[in-house]
Amino acid sequence: MPSTLFKSTSEMMAPLLARLANVSFSAVVFPLHYRLDHVVPLIKKSGLDNDDPANDWPITNLCTFSKMLKRLAVSRLQPHMMSSDSVSHF
């Protein structure tokens, strides 16, 4: 689902996404379907040999929900991690 669709329907989608995120966090399970990504090789510079894999950058496309869930998890965990004495601060 494109991110523009999420943005344009955010009022309707937010409660559903929040529920899915809370269920995922409570169950300590991230569905396999959302962990899969699509890797696309992108040529580093025009003029390089397209047949040589060393000339490609691997570009990974995750689904929009995965990206949002990751950001939500980080926003929930970061304050706890930063306040914990057991975590070294760099």
- Structural domain that includes position 12: 3-83
Q: Dump pLDDT digits (tens) for 1-24.
A: 677 887 898 899 889 888 988 888
Amino acid occupying residue 80: H
Q: Do the domain assignments include residue 89?
A: no
Q: Do the domain assignments include residue 88?
A: no
Q: Do the domain assignments include residue 38?
A: yes
Q: Do the domain assignments include residue 15?
A: yes
Q: Dump pLDDT digits (tens) for 22-70.
A: 888 899 888 787 777 788 888 888 888 888 888 888 888 778 888 888 8
Q: Do the domain assignments include residue 74?
A: yes
Q: Do the domain assignments include residue 90?
A: no
Q: Dump pLDDT digits (tens) for 68-83.
A: 888 888 888 888 878 8
- For residue 87, pLDDT beyond 80: no
pTM across the whole model: 0.58
How many domains does the chain fold into?
1
Residue 88: the pLDDT is 62
Report residue 41 as tokens: 């090789």
Q: Do the domain assignments include residue 63?
A: yes
In the chain, the N- to C-terminal Cα span, in Å, equals 37
Q: d(Cα 89, Cα 11) in Å, to the nearest integer?
A: 37
Residue 86: the pLDDT is 65
